[in-house]
Structure 1
Amino acid sequence: MTPSSPLSSTTIELAPSYKLPIAIAILAILLLLVSPWLGGAIALFGLFLMFQAGTLRLQFTDTALDIYRGENLIRHFPYQDWENWEIFWFNVPILFYFKEVKSIHFLPIIFDPKLLKSCLEQRFPKRTASS
């Protein structure tokens, strides 16, 4: 957990994770042997995810999930608008999904998945069927 500033001790910034982009790059190398076009397309996607992991920052504040590129806030997702969330295949995490009242979002797991799950459970606990 990394506080974003001394004044905001409850803001948590997720560290990047390069596991998914590296796995996609390895898959691309294998696919290059079978299909150069498909392998090349997958390799470009892996490079794109690697770039995103290095440049995007997710911050969990008391009221919202904020996404930054460098110092610029590019998206603000208040928890009050959230309906639910899911991390697909947590043992091999590849995709984070969350639904707001008016939209749904899918993000590749290019951040620390354990800290992501911990922050989600803390900031927006899943509702049980009986809730």
Structure 2
Amino acid sequence: MESALLLAPKLVSNPSREFRSNVRQFQSSFCGKSIAIVEFTRTDAYTNHKSISKITSLFSLGKKKVKTIKRETVIPDPDYRIPIVLLGFAGGLVYGDNLLAAAPVGLLGLLLLFQTTRVKFVFDDEALEVKVGEELDESGENVFVGGKNRWKYSSFVNWELWWPNFPILVYFKETQTKPEGQIHFFPVIFNGKQLYDVMVERAGPSKTSGPN
């Protein structure tokens, strides 16, 4: 401190030298830092000789980065209860010699049995997506309303599970496909408890007992 104070008068009182400073700042591509370069120019009044000293400063710019933790992907287990019940009911109709009613019920049971082995509800960090197969291949466009079978949780208006004790259908309404809202129904060919828990976690609690 003392030496700094002693040096100050010498710098001020020397008329033969002139000091100028110039600060330049620019954004570097190195880790999002900003580099400031301060140039001190000293001119000798007698020789007109200039000497330049540079001080480079590296400091952080911008806001502090906040790490976001992604939620794990959840895929509910398959549940074969609905197709088995339908096939059993179709068998009962056949036994009662009611073949006309047994045919569509049996076909629906077989279709759902096949779909249970391949269709997956995949809940990733930001959206619900329908995929197929063990390799989780794309399911293509929705055959009824078009567009990809992927809906962001933020677009969900409402959803319901019918019926909680023995879930048969899952319903949800989203605004991603259409601004006024698009309704979807899917048979619950997945573990109902797992499906309900992940829907509550990602899309929020259900609001009504059924669709409007």
TM exceeding 0.5: yes
Provide structure 1 residue ranges, at least 5 long, that are not aligned to the other structure.
1-7
Tell me if the contact between 2:154 and 2:203 (Cα under 8 Å) persists in the aligned partners: no
Alignment of 1:22-41 (within 5 A): 22-32=84-94, 33-41=96-104
* CA distance in structure 2 between the partners assigned to 1:128 and 1:79 by the alignment: 15
Change (3 A) 1:128 1:25: closer
Q: Tell me which of the two structures has the higher relative contact order, counting C-alpha pairs closer than 8 angstroms and 6 or more residues apart.
A: 1
Deviation, structure 1 residue 73:
2.0
Whether 2:152 is the aligned partner of 1:73: answer no
Deviation, structure 1 residue 34:
4.2
Whether 2:172 is the aligned partner of 1:98: answer yes
Quick one: which amino acid aligns to residue 16 of structure 1? P
Higher helix share: 1
Equivalent residues, number: 122
2:119 maps to 56
Tell me if the contact between 2:129 and 2:150 (Cα under 8 Å) persists in the aligned partners: yes
* CA distance in structure 1 between the partners assigned to 2:73 and 2:97 by the alignment: 46
Change (3 A) 1:128 1:27: closer
Query: RMSD of the TM alignment (CA)?
Result: 1.7
1:83 maps to 157
* CA distance in structure 1 between the partners assigned to 2:118 and 2:163 by the alignment: 24
* CA distance in structure 1 between the partners assigned to 2:97 and 2:159 by the alignment: 37
Instruction: Choose the corresponding residue for 1:44, options 93, 98, 107.
Output: 107
Q: C-alpha deviations, 1:44-76, integer Å up to 9, x for none?
A: 100000000001111111111111112322211
* CA distance in structure 2 between the partners assigned to 1:127 and 1:36 by the alignment: 40
Divergent runs of 4+, >4 A: none
The alignment's TM-score, normalised by the length of structure 1, stands at: 0.86
Provide structure 2 residue ranges, at least 5 long, that are not aligned to the other structure.
1-69, 140-148, 176-180
Identity in percent: 33
